[in-house]
Amino acid sequence: MNILTQLAEKLQLQLSVIYDGVEIETSYKELSLDLIDMMGLNTHCVEPVPYANHWSQKDMILITYGDSFLEEGVKPLKTLDSFLEEHIGESVNGVHILPFFPYSSDDGFSVIDYSSVNESLGDWSDISAIAKKRKLMSDLVINHCSSRGIWFENFIKGEGKGSDYFFTASPDDDLSQVVRPRTSSLLRPVETEKGLQHVWCTFSHDQVDLDFRNPEVLLTFVSIIRQYLDAGVRIFRLDAVAFLWKELTSASINLPQTHEVVRLLRTLIEHSEPEAIMITETNIPNTQNLTYFGNANEAHCIYNFSLPPLLVNTLITGDCLYLKRWLMSMPPAQNGTCYFNFIASHDGIGLRPAEGLLSDIEINTLVNTMQSFGGRISWRTSETGEQKPYEMNISLFDALQGTVEGEDKWGLERFICAHAIMFALEGIPGIYIHSMLGTRNDYEKLKNTHHNRSINRHRWDYSQLERQLANTSSSHHTVLARMLELIDIRKKQLAFHPNAIQFVLHLGLQLFGFWRQSSDRKQSIFCVSNISKEDVELRLGELNLISTDTWFDLIAGTPVTNLNEVVTLSPYQTVWLTNIMLES
């Protein structure tokens, strides 16, 4: 049996799971052949290697908008490329350009046209130019699209492509179980040529949800994936994918059909481009998030959404209990899968992934502390109808300017400590552009947009940024230099491979530590951070360092001369103690 026949049979089986109980006009066999044709697999089809890791310790992703840097007379994507070449260089080999398509709201996540680049940013040649130099990650905004796009216009007219792409329901339906990430009403009434209809809007009334019960919607998104692959995209971020499949009288989140769609898309992508990977963006409680690994047959990577709130909570309380408990509970990602670690993003610090890990009292303390540092809070309606904090909107640099006791002098060291922890953890690190630069809360943009998330979506005047980065006394210069220093150390260590062994260390509540070991078992790294604003003693004897090895602190660049020594760690100091100094 040849590879195409095997692929077609696998797709038919996956389609039978997705559309079980749904009346569709074409057979599973015909639909599978359409999918193969749409992806161009008739002319180029590769057999994927199971459980292959398409990443190493050298991989890291910079997260940025296409217009994070503005330069007079220059398209923002070209300015972004210049920034990457001039200030990031080879330190970071991947870039996630947040939605770069024409859009109507939500800073890009309400897509009007999936096939075009927003003219204000540049064009496809600018995207491809960046993709030739770095691993390019693109959003696949798959759950919903803009109400101002041609698809929705055709839905209102009742004819043309898109006229049957949207999920509708009745206000009389039982929708009480539906999980909502927003406080707006779920259904939006729309006058159409067919009369009044109520379209499903998980997020906002400008973001109308697509109906994957219609196979044409699936085929359309497969054609979009093909276009992005041709443009050089190698990492697909499936935005809000947990909400993709809806069923009345259900929670309409994480349904079996959603998981099967993810598996099908992985099947198509890995047969087309073996190095391409998928990351699912599922901002949900931790146990639910983990299910998107499947059996190494769904997402290659999942966002470690619990890390940001737990790490921030650790650093503002000086107590690592909850972070340590969570890390001990996290299963190692099997080969072929990987965690995607981050502590800041274009969105805020999500609180749903902390549910069940932090108590309501601890979450409220965290929320109140972020508000005292200038942050804003976004809310959601819970299953019981009460308002609960959904997300903390604040720049990470401001979030770590103090503790529950208030602001202090340790903000920079606390901020660097957070990244030293994140860079060393099992997984691929993702760094938000404003963390790389130490950008502060943007109150002016918040005032202009009235959207809480705008506080951490600053657009830099590029000439002003250049002056800041050239000034050695500037905090932005200092942050970038120290971040790149840590990154360059990390990239050389085999024990920091995203799938290298990891064990949590028990060193009390003020020292957060874990041990990493390379797959060949030759390199070990003990990663220990003082997460408090007091000097704390680290007894090296408790680490059981092998006495026949020579040990070094990678960050300080100094040898460890006495394995029984008591080392005093300054507030928020991190040590990476290794038995092998790798230089390349």
- Structure tokens given for 489: 């150390």
Are residue 363 and residue 509 in the same domain, yes or no?
no
The pLDDT score that the predictor gives to residue 322 is: 97
In this structure, is residue 569 part of a structural domain?
yes
Residue with tokens 């006791």: 405
At residue 384, the pLDDT reads 74
Q: Which of 300-309, 378-387, 563-572 has the lowest mean pLDDT?
A: 378-387
Residue 537 in this model has a pLDDT that exceeds 80: yes
Task: Please give the average per-residue pLDDT across 372-389, as a whole number.
Answer: 87
User: What pLDDT does residue 201 have?
Assistant: 97
Q: Are residues 452 and 530 in the same domain?
A: no
Evaluate whether residue 186 is within a structural domain: no
Q: Which domain holds residue 539?
A: 501-578
What is the end-to-end Cα distance of the chain in Å, rounded?
44
Residue 538 shares a structural domain with residue 444:
no
Please give the average per-residue pLDDT across 502-525, as a whole number: 97
Residue 232 CB partners (closer than 8 Å, separation 6+) = 127, 128, 130, 131, 132, 136
Any domain includes 11: no
Structure token digits, residue 318: 């000086």
What is the mean pLDDT of the segment spanning 370-390? 88
- Which amino acid is located at 584 in the chain? S
Is residue 429 located within the same domain as residue 535?
Answer: no
pLDDT of residue 263: 98
pLDDT of residue 547: 86
Residue 584 has pLDDT above 60, yes or no: no
> Does 50 reside within a domain?
no
Say whether 10 sits in a helix, a strand or coil. helix
pLDDT recorded at residue 583 = 66
How does residue 387 score in pLDDT terms, banded at 50, 70 and 90?
confident
- The residues, ordered by sequence, that sit 6+ positions from 92 with a Cβ below 8 Å of its Cβ are 60, 61, 62, 84, 134, 431, 487
Domain assignment present for 436 = yes
> The pTM is what?
0.96
Interval 346-365: pLDDT, tens: 999 999 899 899 999 999 99
Shared domain check, 486 and 518 = no
Asked whether residue 201 is domain-assigned, the answer is no
- Both 278 and 301 in one domain: the answer is yes
How many folded domains does the chain comprise?
A: 2
Task: Give 3-state DSSP helix, strand, coil % of the chain, rounded to 5.
Answer: 35, 20, 45
Listed residue (419, 366, 367, 445) closest to 576, CA to CA: 419
Q: Are residues 458 and 507 located together in one domain of the fold?
A: no
Q: 402 and 377: one domain?
A: yes
Residue 273, Cβ neighbours under 10 Å: how many?
18
Helices 28-38, 3-18: crossing angle, 10 deg rounding: 120
In a domain, 7, yes or no: no
Q: Is the pLDDT of residue 382 over 80?
A: no
pLDDT at 1 over 70: no
Q: What is the pLDDT of residues 39-67, one digit of tens each?
A: 999 999 999 999 999 999 999 999 999 99
CATH number of the domain within which 354 lies: 3.20.20.80
For residues 388 and 525, membership in a common domain is answered with no
Same domain, 383 and 259: yes
Residues 462 and 541 in one domain: no
Q: Do residues 522 and 388 both lie within one domain?
A: no
Asked if residue 228 belongs to a domain, the reply is yes
Final residue in a domain of this structure, among 496, 516, 543: 496
Q: What is the mean pLDDT of residues 128-135?
A: 98
Each residue of 17-38: pLDDT tens digit?
Answer: 999 999 999 999 999 999 999 9
User: Cα angle vertex 422, ends 417, 423, to 5°?
Assistant: 100
Domain boundary among 496, 515, 532: 496
CA nearest neighbour of 239 among 155, 158, 331, 139: 139
Mapping DSSP to helix (H, G, I), strand (E, B) and coil, where does residue 153 land?
A: helix
Catalytic residue positions? 239
CATH of residue 566: 2.60.40.1180
Residue 34 pLDDT: 97
Domain boundary among 453, 476, 496: 496
CA 265, distance to chain mean position in Å, is 18
